[in-house]
């Protein structure tokens, strides 16, 4: 099998999923909104995550582009998949300083076939854990 045929076979079954990680509806809670392309044959996920928080300041809206990760089948119970994500985002220094640096983002999810379950995420010095994962599909 040629390399091109192997790549196209791995892409068969790819799908888009969207949803949230976090306590949606809780005032001030950070929420990670994900939009991911899932390629089950390659055990990979990639896409974008936007972290929103209903407070003013530089962390009220963070966009993490080029998020990459893995998806694995668990083989037991209601939780049928586990997902891990990693990415980086730009953080600007507050005025009067000039410049920016790359902040780190990571997330984990234990989900069912409909992309609902529990998970958490970390960005900067914030660690949000044991929160709902809800599908928007």
Q: How far is CA 14 from CA 11, 65, 109, in A?
A: 5, 19, 19
Is beta strand 44-52 parallel, antiparallel or unpaired with respect to 61-73? antiparallel
Q: Cα separation of 128 and 46, whole Å?
A: 21
What pLDDT score does 11 carry?
66
Residue pLDDT, tens place only, 65-82: 999 999 999 988 899 999
Of 16-20, 94-98, 107-111, 114-118, the poorest mean pLDDT is in 94-98
Neighbours of 127 (CB within 10 A): 10
Could you tell me whether strands 31-39 and 15-21 are parallel, antiparallel, or unpaired per DSSP bridges?
Answer: antiparallel
What digits encode the pLDDT tens for the residues 44-55? 999 999 999 877
Question: Distance between CA 68 and CA 88 in Å, rounded?
Answer: 10
């Amino acid at each position: 099998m040629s390399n091109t045929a192997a790549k196209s076979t791995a892409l068969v079954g790819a799908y888009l999923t969207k949803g949230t990680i976090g306590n949606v509806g809780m005032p001030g809670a950070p929420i990670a909104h994900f939009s991911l392309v899932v390629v089950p044959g390659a055990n990979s996920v990639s896409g974008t995550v936007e972290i929103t928080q209903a407070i003013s300041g530089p962390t009220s809206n963070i966009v993490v582009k080029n998020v990459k990760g893995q998806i694995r089948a668990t083989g037991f119970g209601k939780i049928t998949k586990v997902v891990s994500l990693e990415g980086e985002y730009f953080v600007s220094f507050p005025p009067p300083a000039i410049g920016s640096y790359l902040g780190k983002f990571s997330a984990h999810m234990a989900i069912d076939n409909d992309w609902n379950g529990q998970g958490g995420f970390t960005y900067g010095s914030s660690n949000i854990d044991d929160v709902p994962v809800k599908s928007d599909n």
